[in-house]
Amino acid sequence: MIYSRIAGTGGYLPDKVLTNQDLEKLVDTTDQWITERTGIKKRHIAEENQTTCDLAEHAARNALAAAGLQANDIDMIIVATTTPNQVFPSTACLLQARLDIRGCPAFDVQAVCTGFVYALGIADKFIRSGSVKNALVIGAETMSRIVDWSDRGTCVLFGDGAGAVILQASAEEPGILSCHLHADGAYESLLTVPHGISNGYDKMIEGNAYIKMQGNEVFKMAVNTLGRIVDDTLAANNLKKTDIDWLVPHQANIRIITATAKKLKMSMEQVVVTVQEHGNTSAASVPLALNVAVLDGRIKRGDVVLLEAFGGGFTWGSALLKY
Ligand code: UT7
């Protein structure tokens, strides 16, 4: 039996930082409001000439080093992103060229904040089927490019960054125990960037393709849906809540994270929280948080870790793994 396991993790945040105090000067908001309602204290913003692929490359190189691999050991690249460099080639193909890898499949996945969990689920299937040995799986975003900096309801929430893992074939025990991927396209109106290539291209090139969100509606859906998927994931693996050592949630809002931890009856000590450092980095959020907890020694080999995310689409998903 072939399983997949995480062989190394990496993360990268751009140097430029935008604090809540900086945002007080841009829109009618306060550090107190942002902190109490979201838990966010700052976010990192890519420089004008810094692209999603640049962020992804940093995270990828960190993950390769952590796994003790060379770029040419990689035989599949998946980049989860909502903010690709350009229409095509995919960000994964651009990254492939940067890493000087030739021939292996490379493609992007678009599932907004759930993108990394989707990408991990896809890579896991390829590895289990025996066709891939080392997959580079990345969540990378420059959300700052699609934020309306005059909308206080959204501009305080998002940031830029990238997180990566090397998913490796393993003949021993798993690794990834199960992945659960879902979507319901009926909720477009609650969370959307309503313009793009085929719809409202003129608005996009004018720079008016921005995130529109009915925050409190999304909030309620996220809390309920994540509670359900946590139960489903445990049931699929015949595990109890107490079997989970670590929760690594999507970092959108501390109140959503706390509600999921409560549902799991987990102490916040067992939850990896990085939202205060970088806000909502969409597909980058879960691998960024995972990387932090691996690097600081909280998550150790053999620990049972639950990853979960919810985002535009709506999409949602989870991955249960033995690190
Ligand atoms: O990752 C993808 C999924 N996205 C999410 O998970 C985001 C989910 N939603 C949320 O995190 C929260 O709904 C928000 C943080 C976006 C908003 O928090 P909320 O507690 O749901 O606030 P609200 O939207 O109900 O707004 C409450 C009040 C409103 O004023 P009134 O109508 O009560 O007078 C807003 O206009 O807060 C006001 N408000 C602000 N005030 C100061 C909204 N944004 C701000 C702001 N600063 N930045």
Residue 264 has pLDDT above 90, yes or no: no
Pocket test for ligand 1, best of 143, 216, 220 (most atoms within 8 A of CB): 216
Least confidently predicted of 206-210, 250-254, 268-272: 206-210
Q: How many CA atoms lie within 13 A of 225 on its CB side?
A: 24
Does ligand 1 come within 6 angstroms of the Cβ of 29? yes
pLDDT of residue 10: 98
Contacts of 244 (CB under 8 A, 6+ apart): 234, 264, 266, 270, 304, 305, 306, 320
Alpha-carbon separation of residue 155 from 40, 59, 162 (angstroms): 12, 25, 19
Does ligand 1 come within 6 angstroms of the Cβ of 113? yes
Residue 122 has pLDDT above 90, yes or no: yes
pLDDT of residue 28: 98
This prediction has a pTM of 0.97
Residue 47: phi and psi, rounded to 5, are: -65, 160
H/E element, 167: strand 160-170
- Helical H runs in the chain? 20-24, 31-38, 52-67, 91-98, 115-128, 152-155, 201-205, 215-236, 254-263, 275-278, 285-295
Cα–Cα distance for residue pair 139/266, rounded to 1 Å? 26
Residue 174 has pLDDT above 90, yes or no: no
Does ligand 1 come within 6 angstroms of the Cβ of 156? yes
Sheet holding 3-12, edge to edge: 3-12, 160-170, 134-142, 76-80, 106-109
Residue 210 has pLDDT above 90, yes or no: yes
pLDDT of residue 273: 98
Q: Which ligand 1 atom lies nearest to the CA of residue 280?
A: 1
Token pair in block for residue 86: 């350009």
Handedness of CA 51, 54, 57, 62 (dihedral sign): negative
Cα–Cα distance for residue pair 91/106, rounded to 1 Å? 9
Where residue 218 falls among pLDDT bands split at 50, 70, 90? Answer: very high
Residue 203 has pLDDT above 90, yes or no: no
Residue type, 147: V
Contacts of 280 (CB under 8 A, 6+ apart): 40, 113, 143, 157, 158, 159, 250, 251, 252, 253
CA end-to-end span of the chain: 18
Q: How many CA atoms lie within 13 A of 65 on its CB side?
A: 10
DSSP 8-state secondary structure symbol assigned to residue 38: H
Residue 41 has pLDDT above 90, yes or no: yes
What percent of the chain shows pLDDT beyond 70? 100
